[in-house]
Amino acid sequence: MAANLQIPVADRRAPVIAPGHTFTSVTDKITNIVLTRPISVAWVLGFLVVFSMLNMLMVALGYLFFKGVGIWGINIPIGWGFAIVNFVWWIGIGHAGTLISAILALLRQSWRNSINRFAEAMTLFAVACAGTFPLAHMGRPWLFYWMFPYPNTMNYWPNFRSPLVWDVFAVSTYFTISLVFWFTGLIPDFGTLRDRAQHPWVQKIYGILAMGWRGSARHWHRYETAYILLAGLSTPLVLSVHTVVSFDFAIGIVPGWHTTIFPPYFVAGAIYSGFAMVLCLAIPIRAVYGLKDFITERHLEISAKVMLGTGLIVAYGYGMEAFMGWYSGNQFDSFLMWNRLHGPYAFWYHALLICNIGLPQLLWIKKFRVSTGLLWIWSFIVLVGMWLERFIIVVVSLARDFQNSSWGMYYPTKWDWMTFIGTIGLFLTAMWLFCRLLPMISIFELRQLLPEAHTHEPVEVAK
Amino acid sequence: MSPASFDAPGITSTYGLMAEFDSAQELVDAAHKTHQAGYQKLDAYSPFPVEGLAEAIGFRKNRVALVVLIGGILGGLSGYMLQYWVAAITYPTNIGGRPFHSWPSFIIVTFEMTVLFGGLSALFGMLALNGLPMPYHPVFNVPEFKKVTENKFFLVVFSSDPQYNPAATRTFLESLSPRMVAEVPS
């Protein structure tokens, strides 16, 4: 039996699942991480680190709610500081998760089955981090519900012509649908955990979450329809979210924001940073939890290629911005380019070009795509580069707009940094818990990748 | 229903007869043969979606897509109508001299509401049509059934099937060479 378990793949490529696995072995390997693996000292120490980062966020937000946004470095002319930079950065990171789970499902890219679960979790946590920033930036976050259209005694309604209102709908829909998609994918695996758990309370908790899932053929049939329709709905959704985020800028008249290239350029940048985050997480997770059989070199290499491809689209975006700065003949647009290259933030613009365009070109070399250490460093470089991109877009454009009497500089305060690093803590704390509480790889989809799962048409019974 | 049915299986209340198989292919073949033999009320259980299994047990009426379509249309319509009512009727504001009913600005929220309602109907529609959440189901009374979420495949002929006969159906299921045949107390 073991002999025919080999997945047929082209010769030079690593398989999407290591040979020799059976339904039981994949189930064991993934559920044991949740159910039987003891909690290690390293896990606890790591958790303490990320949890204290999360507490730093709580302190920063608590003080913010007490004092107001004046504790941040924002002021006129730069009213959109770290809050918006980090919002766009985090929400972009989320995009890779939905791309992997939805778009690749529609394209029948079965290799996605081993990374979609934790990529979707990454999406949820990243969107949660992203959502923190506009809420905190509001000044009076306890009145956040004023953004939604609801009948109120003030007789007031939102202005639906404003991209900021579109953003509310785009981001809240994105979070909700990502959660629905993630939960739908988890239902059958909750069933597996329920049936394998030993402790009665653990059985009860997973049993409640599994909602009585019993793997009926009728249920699977409806389930698959629902899943593929969710993928179909999420595909335009993920493309729309960063498009709408880019409208926040593109509909304004500030030089460097008011361009039609923003939507595709933002979406490509989002996927670029998202895949960087996938690699940043997948490389340590597969090593620590012994999942190299399921997250193989093939996954890492494909992710690196997606990074390279979307990075080139982003590079095209930069090129077009520079070209339009010259070709438009608009003095403010051409000044913006000069200001980026030679102005007070020139160092960071050059750093951005090196991180996002220069260094990632080394991914053309196979050694960089298959060496986990190098790839991990490179994904980190891309994450830094994409953060700098959002910083340049938000801050440099606002710092020097039309009137030089209204120019200014932006200096983030310690509270800005604490909030930013704190959301990294929120993200990592959630990931830390996710790894031990939920199956981080979709078990039933992994079973489908095994050759034994494939069936042929039943033979007609002879009359 | 009562615990007594465990003591006297097959006499008073039996949910059906369960056969266990080792592979997806065996289950598809067995389900197909059972359906061909005239059994109408049967179900098959597997640890992952098996291609062709739903067809083999004669399941065709999948209305999830219709539910999602209706949900999506309702979401889109309500999104657009809300914006029209707010911007043109109840709270008209002059923004840069644009018409009150400035439809291009309303596309995005309409789209988001379509996706939101469509997605929620996909999850809740699927659960409702599947009858989930279901706190109790007779198939779990068979201890071997635990393996359905791991590596085993099951076929159940319900006792409500007109052709069901405890002895004859058991003989038929045994002819499909399963690992075991068990009675499912209800």
pLDDT in tens, A281-327: 999 999 998 888 888 888 899 999 999 999 999 999 999 999 998 99
> Which of A120, A147, A225 should we substitute to test contact with B (largest number of B Cβ atoms within 10 Å)?
A225
How far apart are the CA of A26 and the nearest CA of chain B, in angstroms? 9
> Residue B5's pLDDT is what?
43
What is the mean predicted confidence (pLDDT) over A56-84?
A: 93
Q: A29: how many CB neighbours lie within 10 A of its CB?
A: 18
Q: Which residue type does A412 have?
A: P
Find the closest chain A residue to B84 by CA distance. A160
Backbone φ, ψ for residue B42 (5° rounding): -145, 160
What is the mean predicted confidence (pLDDT) over B77-98?
A: 92
Closest CA to A185 of A115, A255, A107, A135: A115
How many residues would you count in chain B?
Answer: 186
Q: Please, what's the largest Cα pairwise distance for chain B?
A: 82
> Residue B37's pLDDT is what?
87
How far apart are the CA of B74 and the nearest CA of chain A, in angstroms? 15
What is the mean predicted confidence (pLDDT) over A217-227?
A: 93
Confidence class for position B51, pLDDT limits 50, 70, 90: confident
Which positions in chain B touch A181 (Cβ < 8 Å)? 119
> Which of A220, A228, A235, A245 should we substitute to test contact with B (largest number of B Cβ atoms within 10 Å)?
A220
> Residue B4's pLDDT is what?
42
Q: Which residue type does A383 have?
A: L
Closest CA to A407 of A315, A323, A317, A345: A345
Asked whether the beta carbons of residue B113 and residue A173 sit closer than 8 angstroms, the reply is yes
Pick from A155, A217, A445: which is nearest to B44 by CB? Answer: A217
Confidence class for position A2, pLDDT limits 50, 70, 90: very low
Q: What's the token pair of residue A18?
A: 């290591």
> Residue B38's pLDDT is what?
86
> Residue A113's pLDDT is what?
84
Q: What's the token pair of residue A225?
A: 């329809």
Q: CA of A202: how far to CAs of A47, A194, A195, A443, B135, in Å?
A: 22, 7, 10, 18, 16
Q: CA of A24: how far to CAs of A30, A198, A413, A450, B152, in Å?
A: 10, 17, 53, 11, 10
> Residue A4's pLDDT is what?
45
> Residue A186's pLDDT is what?
94
Q: Rounded distance, CA B174 to CA B77, Å?
A: 55
The answer to whether A378 touches A362, Cβ cutoff 8 Å, is yes
DSSP A290-326: T-TTTS-HHHHHHHHHHHHHHHHHHHHHHHHHHHHHH
Confidence class for position A189, pLDDT limits 50, 70, 90: very high
> Residue A1's pLDDT is what?
39
pLDDT over 70 at A349, yes or no: yes
Which positions in chain A touch B150 (Cβ < 8 Å)? 23-24, 27, 192, 195-196
> Which of A108, A219, A242 should we substitute to test contact with B (largest number of B Cβ atoms within 10 Å)?
A219
Three-state secondary-structure class, residue B45: strand
- The residue written with tokens 């033979």 in the block is A459
> Residue A175's pLDDT is what?
94
Find the closest chain B residue to A155 by CA distance. B91
| List of E strands, A338-450 | none
By the 10 Å C-beta count (0-12 exposed, 13-18 middle, 19+ buried), A313 is classed as: middle
Q: Rounded distance, CA A283 to CA A265, Å?
A: 27
Which positions in chain A touch B51 (Cβ < 8 Å)? 454-455
Confidence class for position B8, pLDDT limits 50, 70, 90: very low
> Residue A30's pLDDT is what?
87
The answer to whether A142 touches B75, Cβ cutoff 8 Å, is no
DSSP A128-144: HHHHHHHHHHTS-GGGG
pLDDT over 70 at A405, yes or no: yes
> Residue A404's pLDDT is what?
87
How far apart are the CA of A264 and the nearest CA of chain B, in angstroms? 16
Pick from A217, A447, A453: which is nearest to B59 by CB? Answer: A217
∠ CA B121-B111-A252, nearest 5°, is: 145
Asked whether the beta carbons of residue A165 and residue B109 sit closer than 8 angstroms, the reply is yes
Q: Is the dihedral of CA B109, B115, B121, B127 positive or negative?
A: negative
Provide the terminal-to-terminal Cα distance of chain B, rounded to the nearest Å: 6
Residues 159 through 178 of chain A touching chain B, CB cutoff 8 Å = 159-162, 165-166, 169-170, 173, 176-177
Three-state secondary-structure class, residue B156: strand
Q: Which residue type does A7 have?
A: I
Q: Rounded distance, CA A183 to CA A186, Å?
A: 5
> Residue A460's pLDDT is what?
57
Percent of chain B clearing pLDDT 90 (strictly above): 53
> Residue A5's pLDDT is what?
47
The answer to whether A129 touches A92, Cβ cutoff 8 Å, is no
What is the mean predicted confidence (pLDDT) over A412-421?
A: 95
Confidence class for position B3, pLDDT limits 50, 70, 90: very low
Asked whether the beta carbons of residue A216 and residue B44 sit closer than 8 angstroms, the reply is yes
Average pLDDT score over chain A: 90
How far apart are the CA of B166 and the nearest CA of chain A, in angstroms? 22
> Residue A395's pLDDT is what?
94
Which positions in chain A touch B16 (Cβ < 8 Å)? none
Q: Is the dihedral of CA A329, A332, A335, A336 positive or negative?
A: negative
Percent of chain A clearing pLDDT 90 (strictly above): 68
Asked whether the beta carbons of residue B45 and residue A217 sit closer than 8 angstroms, the reply is yes
Pairs of residues, one from chain A and one from chain B, whose beta carbons lie less than 8 Å apart: 212
Asked whether the beta carbons of residue A159 and residue B32 sit closer than 8 angstroms, the reply is no
Q: Rounded distance, CA A57 to CA A416, Å?
A: 10
What is the mean predicted confidence (pLDDT) over B127-135?
A: 92
Q: Rounded distance, CA A42 to CA A35, Å?
A: 18
Q: By mean pLDDT, which of A172-181, A416-425, B92-101 is the weakest? A: B92-101
pLDDT over 80 at A95, yes or no: yes
Q: B157: how many CB neighbours lie within 10 A of its CB?
A: 26
Instruction: Kindly give, in sequence order, each residue whose CB lies less than 8 Å from that of residue B10, ignoring residues fewer than 6 positions away.
Output: B166, B183
pLDDT digits (tens, 9 = 90+) for A27-60: 888 888 888 888 889 999 999 999 999 999 999 9
How far apart are the CA of B164 and the nearest CA of chain A, in angstroms? 20
Closest CA to A96 of A245, A281, A294: A281
Asked whether the beta carbons of residue A195 and residue B147 sit closer than 8 angstroms, the reply is yes
Pick from B95, B123, B136: which is nearest to A159 by CB? Answer: B95
Q: Rounded distance, CA A243 to CA A263, Å?
A: 4
pLDDT over 70 at A13, yes or no: no
Average pLDDT score over chain B: 88
pLDDT digits (tens, 9 = 90+) for B28-45: 999 999 998 888 889 999
How far apart are the CA of B45 and the nearest CA of chain A, in angstroms? 4
> Residue B112's pLDDT is what?
96
> Residue B1's pLDDT is what?
42
How far apart are the CA of A48 and the nearest CA of chain B, in angstroms? 35
Chain mean position to CA A350: 25
> Residue A463's pLDDT is what?
43
